[in-house]
């Protein structure tokens, strides 16, 4: 499978993490000759004591400031040779980002994991985590500010798999490794207890796991980049995070599906737990890269809001 990226959507809130995410998005757009679409969402006004006129003035000021900052971002991306567009949207942040993704028919979302909703993050989960549950295309999350040099030098990619992944995920890992001249470590973490198991059986098990891991990357992958396989024992998300931290991987690639719907609801999937704690960017890929169209809700235009015809009362 050949990975093609034609359009990248990058939501920004003008905080450092989203600015770092934009640098990643720009770099990837340049590498894949893709278009870049930058989105900023102005959330609803929540005060019940705000008049339509005051709401309009507030939204107009935020809109003008956002457009100015987006124009600067677009100019910087285009200076790098990337075709770039931008827009300001109004409404619930998650919902509007999903709408933008669908309208642009994006192939990839690149987003920072820390924004202005710090307290709400702990109560409800971050915007990125909620997007992980709602969109059917890969999401690259950037956990903190990175320098341009760090972004341009992705040299060590960790592809974490539970062996139920399909080859599409491996293809993404190999594609990025090829574009950035990186090496790949394919990691499988199992909670199988090896105590008391004979060496013969253990060797046979490890050989079988190695074979299954290699099936998840394209057959010609070894000609494009260095690939190593690795089996560890323990709780998957904890082992993945520990290895990523200790061995300074530049990117983690993994699938988004969990073991089951109930466990996902109560505890969150391995992907979500890795996203929360990863020291490096995480590329989370859904099990099937099929676009699932949804009805896009009509949203208020800036002209309607500024004129006081439609409010933004949550």
CA distance linking residue 36 with residue 109, whole number of Å: 10
139's enclosing H/E stretch is: strand 139-142
Residue 52 pLDDT greater than 70, yes or no: no
Q: How confident is the model at residue 6 (pLDDT cuts 50, 70, 90)?
A: very high
Looking at the chain, the whole-number percentage of residues with pLDDT higher than 90 is 39
Q: How confident is the model at residue 286 (pLDDT cuts 50, 70, 90)?
A: confident
pLDDT digits (tens, 9 = 90+) for 191-205: 766 555 666 677 888
pLDDT digits (tens, 9 = 90+) for 95-148: 999 999 999 999 999 998 864 444 333 333 577 777 887 888 999 998 765 554
Say if 7-137+293-306 and 149-280 have the same CATH topology.
yes
- Residues 6 or more apart whose CB falls under 8 angstroms from that of 304 comprise 310
Query: Is the distance from CB of 305 to CB of 311 less than 8 angstroms?
Result: yes
Query: Is the distance from CB of 92 to CB of 299 less than 8 angstroms?
Result: no
Concatenating the DSSP letter of every residue in 175-240 gives HHHHHTT-EEEEEEEE----TT--HHHHHHHHHHHHHHHHTTS-TTGGGTS-EEEEEEES-HHHHH
Of the options 3.40.50.1820, 2.30.40.10, 3.40.50.620, 3.50.50.60, the CATH number for the domain spanning 7-137+293-306: 3.40.50.620
pLDDT at 273: 86
Q: What is the mean pLDDT of the chain?
A: 79
Across the beta sheet with 84-90, the strand order is 84-90, 35-42, 7-11, 108-112, 139-142, 282-285, 251-255, 156-161, 183-190, 227-233
**pTM to 2 decimals?**
0.81
Residue whose pair of structure tokens reads 């931290």 in the numeric block:
245
Query: Is the distance from CB of 113 to CB of 22 less than 8 angstroms?
Result: no
Identify the CATH class of 149-280: alpha beta
Judged by average pLDDT, the poorest of 33-37, 47-51, 55-59, 251-255 is 47-51
Mean pLDDT of all residues in 3-22 = 90
pLDDT at 50: 59
Give domain limits for the chain. Answer: 7-137+293-306, 149-280
């Amino acid at each position: 499978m050949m990975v093609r990226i034609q359009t990248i959507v990058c939501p920004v809130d003008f905080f450092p993490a989203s600015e770092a995410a934009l640098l990643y998005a720009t770099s990837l757009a340049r590498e894949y000759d893709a278009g870049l679409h930058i989105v900023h969402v102005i959330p609803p006004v929540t005060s019940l004591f705000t008049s339509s006129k005051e709401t309009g003035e507030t939204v107009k000021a935020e809109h003008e400031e956002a457009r100015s900052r987006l124009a600067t971002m677009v100019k910087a991306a285009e200076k790098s040779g990337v075709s770039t567009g931008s827009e300001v949207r109004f409404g619930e942040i998650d919902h509007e980002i999903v709408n933008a993704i669908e309208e642009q028919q994006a192939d990839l979302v690149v987003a920072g994991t820390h924004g202005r909703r710090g307290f709400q993050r702990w109560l409800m989960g971050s915007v990125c985590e909620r997007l992980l549950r709602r969109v059917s295309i890969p999401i690259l999350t950037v956990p903190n500010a990175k320098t341009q040099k760090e972004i341009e030098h992705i040299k060590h990619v960790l592809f974490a798999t539970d062996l139920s992944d399909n080859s599409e995920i491996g293809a993404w890992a190999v594609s990025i490794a090829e574009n950035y001249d990186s090496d790949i470590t394919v990691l499988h973490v199992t909670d199988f207890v090896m105590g008391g198991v004979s060496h013969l059986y253990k060797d046979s098990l490890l050989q079988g796991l190695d074979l299954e891991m290699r099936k998840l990357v394209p057959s010609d992958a070894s000609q494009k980049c260095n690939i190593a396989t690795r089996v560890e024992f323990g709780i998957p998300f904890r082992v993945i995070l520990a290895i990523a931290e200790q061995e300074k991987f530049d990117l983690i690639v993994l699938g988004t599906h969990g073991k089951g719907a109930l466990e996902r609801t109560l505890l969150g999937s391995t992907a979500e737990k890795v996203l929360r704690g990863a020291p490096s960017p995480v590329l989370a890929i859904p099990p099937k890269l099929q676009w699932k169209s949804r009805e896009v809700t009509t949203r208020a235009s800036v002209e309607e809001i500024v004129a006081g015809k439609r409010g933004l009362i949550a």
